[in-house]
């Protein structure tokens, strides 16, 4: 048996159905109850299904949008869990990506998320990487979407 005899791997088609089945109420419930780790997993699962074997891959606008939301989610999670360096990196990435989708996209209102990140960012600059969250109590806007 030679390398030429091996069958090519079966590629699954991109899962575009993920967009039709997006239930933002699930994301909102996780965001609004500060279950940010679970929300990141929720977003990542949909992102990975969307880009699977896609010709556009991570450049797919919907996938990029989900990734931007994941960055924002991680920024809020990191700052609450003494990872200010990670929070700053995720804020910067989220702001770059989400700015492309202003004022909203796929029914999600982006402006409140961007405003919260822009307000938080200067508070993190200069903090020790493992410093406590600079805002107590830490309150951020509710996740707003159009059903």
Residue 12 has a CB neighbour count (10 Å cut-off) of 9
Instruction: Supply the pLDDT for residue 35.
Output: 98
CB of 53 closer than 8 Å to CB of 79: no
CA distance 86 to 44: 18
pLDDT value at position 105?
92
Helix (DSSP H) and strand (DSSP E) numbers for the chain: 6, 2
pLDDT at 56: 75
Residue 8 is predicted with a pLDDT of 52
Identify the pLDDT of residue 92: 98
Residue 45 lies in a domain: yes
Identify the domain containing residue 35 by its residue range: 23-124
33 within domain boundaries: yes
Contacts of 147 (CB under 8 A, 6+ apart): 24, 25, 107
Instruction: Determine the pLDDT at residue 22.
Output: 85
The two tokens of residue 43 are 């977003």
Number of Cβ atoms within 10 Å of the Cβ of 105: 18
Q: What is the pTM of this model?
A: 0.86
Q: What is the pLDDT along the chain (147 residues), one digit of tens a residue?
A: 455 555 555 544 555 566 767 899 999 999 999 999 999 999 999 998 888 767 777 788 889 999 999 999 999 999 999 999 999 999 999 999 999 999 999 999 999 999 999 999 999 999 999 999 999 999 999 999 998
Which pLDDT score, from 0 to 100, does residue 11 have? 45
Q: Please tell me the total count of domains within the chain.
A: 1
Residue 60 has what pLDDT?
82
Within a domain: 12: no
Task: Please report, for the domain that includes residue 53, its CATH number.
Answer: 1.10.3450.10
């Amino acid at each position: 048996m030679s390398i030429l005899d091996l069958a090519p791997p079966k590629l699954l088609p991109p899962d575009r159905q993920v967009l039709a089945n997006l239930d933002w109420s699930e994301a909102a419930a996780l965001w609004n109850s500060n279950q940010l780790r679970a929300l990141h997993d929720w977003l990542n699962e949909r992102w990975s299904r969307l880009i699977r074997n896609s010709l556009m891959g991570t450049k797919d606008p919907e996938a990029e949008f989900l990734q931007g939301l994941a960055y924002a989610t991680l920024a809020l999670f990191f700052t609450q869990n003494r990872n200010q360096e990670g929070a700053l990196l995720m804020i910067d990435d989220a702001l770059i990506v989400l700015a492309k989708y202003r004022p909203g996209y796929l029914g999600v209102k982006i402006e409140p998320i961007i405003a919260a990140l822009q307000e938080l960012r200067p508070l993190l600059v200069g903090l020790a990487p493992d410093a406590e969250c600079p805002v107590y109590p830490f309150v951020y806007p509710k996740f707003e979407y159009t059903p």
